[in-house]
Amino acid sequence: MLFDKRPIILAGLATCLLGLLTSCANSPTGTALERSFAADPKLKDNSTIFGATSPNNPQNQTTAQLPADFPPEIPRYPEAKVEKVEPLSVSDAQGHLTSWSSPDPINAIQSFYQKEFTSNNWQIVSQPADDTGGTLVSRRNDLQVTVSVPSDIASSNSSQPSSTPPIGGKTSASITQFDIKYVRNSNQTASGLSDKQESPQPTESPNVATQTTGTSTASSQDFNDLDKLPQELRQQIQDLAALGVLSTQPSSSKSNPDATSAQFQPNKAITRREFARWLVAANNKIYVNRPGQQIRLASATSQSAFQDVARTDPDFPSIQALAEAGIISSPLTGDSTAVLFRPDVPLTRENLILWKVPLDTRQVLPTASIDAVKQTWGFQDAAKIDPKALRAVLADFQNAEQSNIRRVFGFTTLFQPKKPVTRSEAAIAIWYFGSQAEGLSAKEAQKLKPPSTQPSATPEATPSSTPSQ
Q: What string of H, E and C letters represents the secondary structure of the chain?
A: CCCCCHHHHHHHHHHHHHHHHHHCCCCHHHHHHHHHHCCCHHHHHCHHHHCCCCCCCCCCCCCCCCCCCCCCCCCCCCCCEEEEEEECCCCCCEEEEEEEEECCCHHHHHHHHHHHHHHCCCEEEECCCCCCCEEEEEEECCEEEEEEECHHHCCCCCCCCCCCCCHHHCCCCCCEEEEEEEEECCCCCCCCCCHHHHCCCCCCCCCHHHCCCCCCCCCCCCECCCCCCCHHHHHHHHHHHHCCCCCCEECCCCCCCCCCCEECCCCCECEHHHHHHHHHHHHHHHCCCCHHHCCCCCCCCCCCCCCCCCCCCCCHHHHHHHHHCCCCCCHHHCCCCCCCCCCCCECEHHHHHHHHHHHHHCCCCCCCCHHHHHHHHCCCCHHHCCHHHHHHHHHHHCCHHHCHHHHHHCCCCCCCCCCECEHHHHHHHHCEEECCCCEEEHHHHCCCCCHHHCCCCCCCCCCCCCCCC
**Would the pLDDT of 139 be above 80?**
yes
What's residue 6's pLDDT? 64
- Report the DSSP beta bridge partners of residue 262: 223, 250
pTM: 0.53
CB 187 within 8 A of CB 202: no
Distance CA 143, CA 121 (A): 13
pLDDT reading at 97 higher than 80:
yes
- The residues near 38 (Cβ < 8 Å, ≥ 6 apart) are none
| Each residue's pLDDT tens digit, 441-459 | 999 999 887 665 444 444 4
Report how far apart, in Å, the C-alpha atoms of 357 and of each of 58, 82, 157, 337, 402 are.
63, 48, 47, 22, 11
Segment 363-391 shows an average pLDDT of 94
CATH 3.30.310-classified regions of the chain: 73-188
On the question of pLDDT at 193 being above 70, the answer is no
Residues contacting 233, CB < 8 A, separation 6+: 424, 428
Specify whether the backbone of 436 is left (phi greater than 0), alpha (psi in -120 to 50) or beta.
alpha
What is the pLDDT confidence band of residue 385, given thresholds at 50, 70 and 90? very high
Q: How confident is the model at residue 196 (pLDDT cuts 50, 70, 90)?
A: very low
Amino acid symbol at 371: D
pLDDT digits (tens, 9 = 90+) for 404-448: 999 999 999 999 999 999 999 999 999 999 988 889 999 999 988
Highest-pLDDT range among 15-24, 49-58, 156-165: 15-24
Q: What is the DSSP letter of 47?
A: G
Contact between 121 and 115 under an 8 Å Cβ cutoff? The reply is: no
* Annotation: CATH topology of 73-188: TATA-Binding Protein (3.30.310)
Confidence of residue 51 (pLDDT cuts 50, 70, 90): very low
CA 390 → CA 261, 340, 365, distances in Å?
40, 21, 10
Among 161-165, 222-226, 372-376, 381-385, which is the least confidently predicted range? 161-165
Strand partners, 149: 134
pLDDT over 80 (residue 353): yes
Q: Which of 36-50, 73-87, 229-243, 325-339 has the highest mean pLDDT?
A: 325-339
pLDDT at 113 over 50: yes
Is it the case that residue 375 has pLDDT exceeding 60?
yes
